[in-house]
Amino acid sequence: NAGVTQTPKFQVLKTGQSMTLQCAQDMNHEYMSWYRQDPGMGLRLIHYSVGAGITDQGEVPNGYNVSRSTTEDFPLRLLSAAPSQTSVYFCASSYSGGSSYNSPLHFGNGTRLTVT
Amino acid sequence: GDSVTQMEGPVTLSEEAFLTINCTYTATGYPSLFWYVQYPGEGLQLLLKATKADDKGSNKGFEATYRKETTSFHLEKGSVQVSDSAVYFCALNYGGSQGNLIFGKGTKLSVKP
């Protein structure tokens, strides 16, 4: 069981470039989310989705787009990369059902992004 | 708004020492509380959780008790090992949006042999 798979593991971009961080899960989880992790800031929610075709903004959505065309995939798009987007990005998913309120998140291993 | 505050790190302990990492929260409702652990180079993993007041979560020798009266969820372990070296995150799940967690800033633990 692969769980949550993120690609790539590392990426270097120049300011103004665009790219897509990929996230896929094979647990049939309805809920998926993207966090960024910065030193001294903990994890901050960028965008999340409660099911295919449904997305919503988190705490720090500016500069990022998401879509959810399938249950399995939840890509994160950087439209025009900026140095402030240098971070480690984590995708996470959880089961959505009657007890989804209490279901834990399953995290991928992260993508380390550097914008120069 | 809802928030989580955990003790600043890093924390350095000798093997077999007692560990406490403090976590307090602010929430308008009755959140579920979690501790997640992040080992070097990996994503976060759920360590333990508690869903209501006075619940005790436990796993791998770690424990935390949901204290509503002090709004706390402190992580404890009686005897740490080198393999416990990691970053520990306290988090709460508020009911407004399913699955959305608010994380503390993390506490890095280093255990020396």
Q: Smallest Cβ distance to A96: which of B45, B98, B104? A: B98
B84: phi > 0 → left, psi -120 to 50 → alpha, else beta; which?
alpha
pLDDT at A7: 97
Which chain B residues are Cβ-neighbours of A94 within 8 angstroms? Answer: 98-99
Query: Residues of chain B with pLDDT > 90: what percent?
Result: 74
pLDDT at A41: 86
- Cβ separation A42–B34 shorter than 8 A: no
d(CA B33, CA B73): 7
Higher-confidence residue: B25 or A99? B25
Tell me if chain A has a CB within 8 Å of the CB of B70: no
Q: Smallest Cβ distance to A104: which of B49, B98, B100? A: B49
- Cβ separation B100–A33 shorter than 8 A: yes
Q: Is B69 exposed, middle or buried (0-12, 13-18, 19+ CB in 10 A)?
A: exposed
Q: What is the pLDDT of residues B33-87, one digit of tens each?
A: 999 999 998 899 999 999 889 999 999 999 999 999 999 999 999 999 999 999 9
| Residue B22 scores a pLDDT above 90 | yes
pLDDT at A39: 86
Task: Search chain A and give the residue with CA nearest B40.
Answer: A109
Alpha helix (H) ranges present in chain B? none
pLDDT at A99: 42
- Nearest chain B Cα distance for residue A94, angstroms: 7
Task: Search chain A and give the residue with CA nearest B52.
Answer: A102
Q: How many CB atoms lie within 10 A of CB A12?
A: 12
Closest CA to B75 of B4, A97, A1, B66: B66
Backbone angles phi, psi at B50, to 5 degrees: -145, 135
| Tens-level pLDDT at each residue, chain A (116 residues) | 679 999 999 999 999 999 999 999 999 999 999 999 998 888 999 999 989 999 999 999 999 999 999 999 999 999 999 999 999 999 999 886 434 456 778 999 999 999 99
pLDDT at B108: 95
Strand segments (E) across A1-116: 4-7, 10-13, 19-25, 31-38, 42-51, 54-57, 64-66, 76-78, 87-94, 106-107, 111-115
- Cβ separation A109–B32 shorter than 8 A: no
- Nearest chain A Cα distance for residue B113, angstroms: 26
Chain centre to alpha carbon of residue B102: 12
pLDDT at A33: 93
Query: What secondary structure letter does DSSP report for B21?
Result: E
Q: Smallest Cβ distance to B98: which of A41, A43, A100? A: A100
Mean pLDDT of all residues in B28-36? 87
pLDDT at B93: 83
- Cβ separation A107–B98 shorter than 8 A: no
pLDDT at A6: 97
Which chain A residues are Cβ-neighbours of B36 within 8 angstroms? Answer: 105
Query: What secondary structure letter does DSSP report for A105?
Result: P
Higher-confidence residue: B8 or A103? B8
Tokens 């590392």 locate to A10
pLDDT at B98: 56
Angstrom CA distances, B22 to A97, B11, B70, B75, stand at 32, 12, 12, 6
| H/E segment holding residue A102 | none
